[in-house]
Amino acid sequence: MKYSYAAVLVAVVVTTLSLAAVAYGQVVSNAAGAYRIASPRYNFKSYANERPTLFLLKSNSEVIGELRALAGTASELTSGRAEFNKATRGVTATDGAALEITDGTKSVSARADEIQFGPMEMGDKQASGERVFLLKSGGVTIAELRVRAPEAVSIESANSSGHSEYNAGTGTVVAKGGVILKVTAGTSSTSLRAEEIESVSGSK
C-alpha cells in the first residue's frame, strides 16, 4: 500500500511540474499538505524547456541563492529525501541534494543542503545588493546564479588548469579552466561547479 501511495505522489509531481520523477522507497510520514518519502535515491528530471527553470538553494531553510537554468537546458536533481507541498506545488530536496544542468554535452552542477523547485515567479532585474554569476560550459551560459546579500562568495580552481582574471574597469571576475563557486551562510555552504564562471558587472 505504501509503495502504491508513493507512485501516486510521483504522478502528481509529473502532472503539476511537468517533470519526470522516479523514486524508490516508501512514505515514512505525512502531514497536512506535505508528504515525505525516504529513499536511497530520489530523482527528478526535466527536459529541454522553453522557459528558464528556477531552483532555490537553501541552508537551514533560508534561501541563499537562486539558480536559473536557462531556456533550452535540461535538469536532473537527485537527493536522499524529497517533500512535495500541495499548497505551493513545489518540491524540496534534501539529504545530499545534487543538481546537474545540461545543454547537450555541456553541463554545470550544484550541491546544497536543500534545493527547492516548482512553480515560482522570477524577476528579470537585478535586486539591490544582489550578485549575479553566469555559469558556463564550452563558452555557453548554462545557468545564472543570483546570490542574496550578505552571504559570502568565494571562487576557487577545481583543478590545476583553473585560473581567474579580475577586470578593474568593470569590477567583474572571469574564472576559467574548471571552477568551484562557494556560497557560505553561517556554518553551511553551497557549492557550484562549472567550466567557467563570470560575475556580472556590479556583482562583486
Residues 6+ apart with CB under 8 A from 82: 23, 36, 37, 39, 42, 44, 91, 92, 93, 94
Top pLDDT among 110 and 48 is at: 110
pLDDT tens digit sequence for 75-114: 999 999 999 888 888 899 999 899 999 999 999 999 999 9
Please state the domain extents for the chain: 2-199
**Three-state DSSP state, 89:** coil
pLDDT tens digit sequence for 113-122: 999 988 777 6
Task: Give yes or no for a contact between 148 and 129, defined as CB atoms under 8 angstroms apart.
Answer: yes
CA distance 170 to 201: 6
CA distance 116 to 193: 18
